[in-house]
Amino acid sequence: MKIKTTAAAFAAAVILLTGCGSAASSSGENSAAETAKAGTSAADLSGSSAEPEEESSSPEPEEKDMESLQELITELPPEGYDQDREGVTYPEFQKLVYYSQTAERKTKVNVLLPAGYDESRKYPVLYILHGFYDTEDWMARKKVALSRILTNLQLDGKAKEMIVVLPYIFCSKELAYTTGMDYENCLAYDNFINDLETDLIPFIKEKFSVAEGRENTAVTGFSMGGRESLFIGCSHPEQFGYIGAVCPAPGLAPGQLKPEELSFAEDVKPYVLLISSSKADGTVGSNPDTYRNYFKKNGEPFLTHVMEKTGHDHTSVKPHLYNFMQLLFQDK
């Protein structure tokens, strides 16, 4: 797919300079290996019956009114949602390397498999995209507690088992990493859609036991990653049935897409479209509302998640993931 980054998209993205810099400054504090300790199957300990269905028998989810799903959204998760539970060992991220034909280089990716991962079963996949200046390790940090949040939801019977993929979304043949907030760097983030389609998805399907189809594939992201997750979801709704974004950066529309292109054909409406934001986010400001207004004007239903006091950082990402992961791959 030819990427559509424009000068307007770049100009809008420059707003992120201060906020993304502060968010990125903490990304090196904890490595992916520090996220959780490997151990026995949390699913076995809980006795949970939440299991992925076989690909051959996986039904197309029935369309459910977004208004009824909105009632499930909570501003902030309950106390202890991201904490260790006694007797539970949490799966850890594994670092893998694949060759990106799009970037013409080897690229790192973090993957979280369900506790008790079984090659004889098929698992849905969630892709989570990092922000500007960050890497595949940002979401895997102990501070984000992604493994604990998801596993605890599964123990409580609120989330399905799934494979979680944390890619490195800076995709350039010339640059290995972000060097500044300019047009060339923004173009590299927008180019990830091509890496995803050509390189990463095929790699994940070859490496793991994946349940295919839009009913088994989700994407979300934070900040620049949120802009890209919306771009990917709107560009490939035939592949991604679940779309999310938290504190999405400006530049999607107008920019990569025209405002009227924030829409979906009748036969590929998303099962879930969730946009999370914070009133205290001084980095992207009211930009998430801009996207909401475009979807509303285009007649597209979506879920709104607004936080009062969280920042442009993990304090907004974690509540978004808590809500979003509960909505994924459920029998509706």
Written as one string, the DSSP assignment of 159-199 is: S---EEEEE-----SS-SS---SSHHHHHHHHTHHHHIIII
Question: Hey, where are the domains in the chain?
Answer: 7-46+64-327
Mean pLDDT within 215-228: 98
Residue 67: per-residue pLDDT: 81
CA angle (156 as vertex; 155, 157 as ends), nearest 5:
90
Indicate the pLDDT class of residue 65, thresholds 50, 70 and 90.
Answer: confident
196: pLDDT strictly greater than 50: yes
Q: What are phi and psi of 16, to 5 degrees?
A: -80, -5
Tell me the C-alpha distance between 134 and 51, whole Å: 33
SS3 94: strand
295: pLDDT strictly greater than 80: yes
Q: Which residue has the higher pLDDT, 332 or 136?
A: 136
Tell me the C-alpha distance between 239 and 212, whole Å: 9
Provide CATH code, domain 7-46+64-327: 3.40.50.1820
pLDDT digits (tens, 9 = 90+) for 73-118: 999 999 999 999 999 999 999 999 999 999 999 999 999 999 999 9
Mean pLDDT within 186-197: 97
pLDDT digits (tens, 9 = 90+) for 280-290: 999 999 999 99
28-42, 147-161, 208-222, 269-283: lowest mean pLDDT where? 28-42
Indicate the pLDDT class of residue 66, thresholds 50, 70 and 90.
Answer: confident
Name residue 41's amino acid.
Answer: S
pLDDT digits (tens, 9 = 90+) for 147-164: 999 999 999 999 999 999
Indicate the pLDDT class of residue 25, thresholds 50, 70 and 90.
Answer: very low
40: pLDDT strictly greater than 80: no
Mean pLDDT within 35-63: 40
What pTM does this model have?
0.84
Pairing, β 105-112 against β 163-167: antiparallel
42: pLDDT strictly greater than 50: no
Tell me the C-alpha distance between 109 and 138, whole Å: 11
Residue 64: per-residue pLDDT: 60
Mean pLDDT within 206-216: 98
Residues 111, 3: contact at Cβ < 8 Å? Answer: no
Helices (H) and strands (E) in the chain — how many of each?
11, 8
Mean pLDDT (the chain) is: 86
Q: How many residues does the chain have?
A: 332
